[in-house]
Copies of this chain bind each other. A is one copy, B any other.
């Protein structure tokens, strides 16, 4: 079954707000097994909306609209859909009652145009709005189903879950399920090449790659009559991916970020961590601390942006800074050694580099970053060369630091097992 999304609103066309409704609806429709090939944004304009409706009706069975159900004159989604379907608007008594109650509960008086919200195309199914005043509507016209939902995300989402999902489930014979396998430290083109044979022969399940900073995600998607059957289709492919990418995979769970995978790894091994940062300036600690419940294992962090702070807080030697510079393998090494001395944690991570835009030289260009990891005295230093803006170099450094910590801890644990 095909579906498409039309979001109505001038504020979207002007870029005043980000269209989170489209992403939400798309994800929901995909989860219901609907194939969604288009999303359109159009303003509160009768002619352009009619044209968009006509195009959508010709190419998709289900058309989900959001926005333009408000009480004001420029809200005209409902009127225009009714016109397109050749249906009259009639008063829905249940909606009228709900609007009256909504205002009474807030000790406010509805104005004349509020009753406009209770008008619905004749023969439509009304979706109650438990987070606002505009009811949602489902209208069937010839082979199309039009679902009209309010624009505010909290109203739209609640209504979608309460009313639209049951309505759409009745229409659709299939379930779509997907699982994401997340790799780090590999390039997208490398991952794709390794998967070439699988991608070439794909039909159901399908396989696709997505690049993030320092990461490549591989998504496996299957369509089946039941969730159980879809899951059965996905499993062998995920197993194959695990065999091909091994330890480069940090998680096969949608909700797990790289920092969460690291925190879980540390937690499982009973290890604590601390950070010392120069060019990332706290971003590495902030990323790790974004994982809820990290307080048991994250002990302390230092932002040693100046040389003085590197010396005073981490005990980096004056001679090292003078001879090799603040951005050097040697300084990175001393930073992470001093860090563990200071914090008495099991794992230490340090970053020193040139994030730019200034401060680069021919020998040490902008983007040169040293990352060091200390696991109970064993120090590993990695030299990285990043490109881009200051922000991008810092983000890439954080991703590289998380990856380095992960691989050093994995190495430590594998040796522990052999002991």
The residues of A with any CB-CB pair to B shorter than 8 Å are 10-20, 22-30, 36-43, 45, 48, 52, 55, 70-74, 102, 105-108, 110-111, 113-114, 130-132, 152, 154, 158, 178, 187-190, 192-193, 199, 208-211, 219, 221, 275, 277, 279-286, 288-290, 292-295, 298-306, 308-309, 312-313, 343, 356-358, 367, 384-392, 394
8 residue pairs from A and B, CB less than 8 Å apart:
A13-B26, A14-B221, A15-B25, A15-B28, A16-B27, A16-B219, A55-B55, A154-B388
Q: A45 near B37 (CB under 8 angstroms)?
A: yes
Residues of B with C-beta under 8 A to A308: 299-300
CA distance A391 to B208 in the complex (A): 28
Residues of B with C-beta under 8 A to A48: 37-38
Q: A41 near B39 (CB under 8 angstroms)?
A: yes
CB distance from A149 to the nearest CB of B (A): 15
Q: A389 near B158 (CB under 8 angstroms)?
A: yes
Q: A37 near B26 (CB under 8 angstroms)?
A: no
Query: Nearest B residue to A272 by beta-carbon distance?
Result: B306
Q: A113 near B189 (CB under 8 angstroms)?
A: yes
Residues of B with C-beta under 8 A to A293: 358
CA distance A267 to B12 in the complex (A): 34
Q: Is the interface of A mostly helix, strand, loop or mixed?
A: mixed
Residues of B with C-beta under 8 A to A211: 70, 152
Total identical chains: 2
**Which of B37, B193, B388, B390 is close to A292, meaning CB atoms less than 8 Å apart?**
B390
CA distance A312 to B313 in the complex (A): 12
**Which of B43, B130, B188, B301 is close to A302, meaning CB atoms less than 8 Å apart?**
B301
CA distance A365 to B258 in the complex (A): 28
Residues of B with C-beta under 8 A to A40: 38-41
CA distance A281 to B398 in the complex (A): 14
Given contacts A70-B211, A188-B72, A282-B286, is CB(A41)–CB(B22) below 8 Å?
Answer: yes
Q: B299 near A300 (CB under 8 angstroms)?
A: no
Q: B10 near A15 (CB under 8 angstroms)?
A: no
**Which of B110, B154, B219 is close to A389, meaning CB atoms less than 8 Å apart?**
B154
Q: A301 near B305 (CB under 8 angstroms)?
A: yes
Given contacts A15-B26, A286-B282, is CB(A70)–CB(B188) below 8 Å?
Answer: yes
Residues of B with C-beta under 8 A to A106: 384-387
Residues of B with C-beta under 8 A to A13: 26, 30, 36-39
